Amino acid sequence: MILLVILFCILLLILLVSWAKVNPFLAFLIVSITAGLILGIPLDKVTKSVEKGLGDTLGAISIIICIGAMIGKLVATSGAAQKIAEVLVNAFGVKHIQWALVIVGFIIGIPLFYETGFVLMVPLIFSVVYKYKLHAVYIGLPMLAALSVTHGFLPPHPSPSALVATFHADMGTTLMYGLILAVPAIILAGPVFSRTLKNIPSRPLATFRAEELPADQLPGAATSFLTALLPVMLLMGTTIYLNIDHSQSSFHKIIAFIGDAPIVMLISLIFATFTLGIRQGKNMKELGVIYADAVKDVSIILLIVAGSGAFKAVLTDSGANRQIADLLLSFHLPPLMLGWLIAAIIRISLGSATVAGLTAASIISSIVLHDPSINPNLMVLAIGAGSLTCSHLNDGGFWLFKEYFNLSIKDTLRSWTMMETTVSIVGLTGVLILNAVIK
């Protein structure tokens, strides 16, 4: 009975988002309240359960998402992203320009949200394609694979960050494991797979070619790289230290404080404000506008994340979460594979990687939290990989790629959809290998 109710709620969510075109946040609210009523939560407690889920989820990740958006916006508007691209292209040369773009996509994808990174990097891809008369899909898809991997695997992106909070995982450890998985996923889904796509006809629209900033207005290369990578450097550096030093000294506590994800993001934003803002001639009023726009860009993401938290709270408060966990465990399917499969099914149905990851987490969270043998960091990555699989016509990213590269639906399925699916399968394979090695 419980499973049928949850299945009904998930189907209702799919219909509301994909067929009725209801905003995902509103869809989550409707489904959460419906689930609470069907599962027997008293009328006077349904709303409270939803509110608690909203607040708990936002409290855990709103700082990370908002500040991450601010840093990403500043990296884009200051010309730091353009500078990073120029340095790498000059270093690699025309022959290996595809690899240069992959590295650019990976570096830029760490602080930038996917849609921002896509819109920022596609003009660079097109400028290279036009200048050197290269195949657009062959050159561009590997960079977009890098953006996709960072979006699905690596904090501080919304879904991985939310999953870290949901499973009580460690942000730094998850990031390190994610980086390990990211390399083979990007290589196989990007440069290797794109070799099969050289014959795809593509005439990128000149409309989407953005004007580049003059060279004398760009920040320095060292400043651009350091600012874009500082959040990753701080998270990884503090995590490595804390894994070595297990004392309770004051210095240990200071490093633990600095390594806390919200503090890392705040330090990085302050640093970026100076290096890419004040030093570039911007005043605080101008920077305030940039930061406000950045928060607007991710406001809907925050609401979707909060809505998924409400759904999770209802499942937990009704006791359904535990019953589902017991039922799924009886199937004797490996938990990491189960998490990947649930996320993949929801991704194919709904189209949104973020919604897929968060919904899967709400269903499987009690399994992870009550079974110490499951590595929560790897579960974050397993669900993240599942949430990327088989992007098709109900996904905004699918249409972005199709329209920007001016492709047919058939060729978009052949290139974009297959790339995303390859990333997902390689990610799952890597998670299972890491799980065997860590154990």
Which residue has tokens 């209802």? 314
Q: What is the pLDDT of residues 325-373, one digit of tens each?
A: 566 667 778 889 999 988 888 888 766 788 788 888 888 888 888 888 8
Q: Sign of torsion, CA 282 105 137 422?
A: negative
Give me the pLDDT at residue 272, please: 95
- Our count of domains for the chain comes to 1
In this predicted structure, the answer to whether residue 228 has a pLDDT above a threshold of 90 is: no
Q: What is the pLDDT of residues 254-283, one digit of tens each?
A: 999 998 888 988 999 999 999 999 998 899
Range of the domain at 140: 2-438
In this predicted structure, the answer to whether residue 324 has a pLDDT above a threshold of 70 is: no
* 73 exposure class (CB count in 10 Å sphere: 0-12, 13-18, 19+): buried
Range from 5-9, 116-120, 247-251, 308-312 carrying the lowest mean pLDDT: 116-120
Give me the pLDDT at residue 322, please: 61
In this predicted structure, the answer to whether residue 208 has a pLDDT above a threshold of 60 is: no
Dist CA 372 CA 128 (whole Å): 49
How many other CB atoms sit within 10 Å of the CB of residue 348? 18
195 or 203, greater pLDDT: 195
417 or 203, greater pLDDT: 417
Q: What is the pLDDT of residues 277-307, one digit of tens each?
A: 999 889 999 999 999 988 887 888 788 888 8
With beta carbons less than 8 A apart as the criterion, state whether 56 and 250 touch: no
Across the range 301-318, mean pLDDT stands at 84
Determine if residue 180 is left, alpha or beta; phi over 0 gives left, psi from -120 to 50 gives alpha, anything else beta.
alpha
In which band, very low, low, confident or very high, does the pLDDT at 101 lie, cut at 50, 70 and 90?
confident
Treating both helix axes as pointing N-terminal to C-terminal, what angle do 158-166 and 171-187 enclose, rounded to 10 degrees?
Answer: 140
Average pLDDT in the chain: 85
Give me the pLDDT at residue 210, please: 44
The pair of structure tokens assigned to 210 is 């953005």
> Which amino acid is residue 320, in one-letter code?
A
In which band, very low, low, confident or very high, does the pLDDT at 125 lie, cut at 50, 70 and 90?
confident
In which band, very low, low, confident or very high, does the pLDDT at 137 lie, cut at 50, 70 and 90?
very high
Dist CA 216 CA 211 (whole Å): 15
Dist CA 307 CA 32 (whole Å): 8
Give 98's DSSP letter.
H
Q: What is the pLDDT of residues 147-189, one digit of tens each?
A: 999 888 887 777 888 899 889 999 889 999 999 999 999 999 9
In which band, very low, low, confident or very high, does the pLDDT at 405 lie, cut at 50, 70 and 90?
confident
DSSP states of 193-239:
HHGGGTT------GGG-PPPPPGGGSPPHHHHHHHHHHHHHHHHHHH
Q: What is the pLDDT of residues 38-94, one digit of tens each?
A: 988 999 899 999 999 899 888 867 888 888 888 888 887 888 877 887 787 788 887
Dist CA 177 CA 358 (whole Å): 20
Q: For the chain, how many residues are written?
A: 439
With beta carbons less than 8 A apart as the criterion, state whether 227 and 279 touch: no
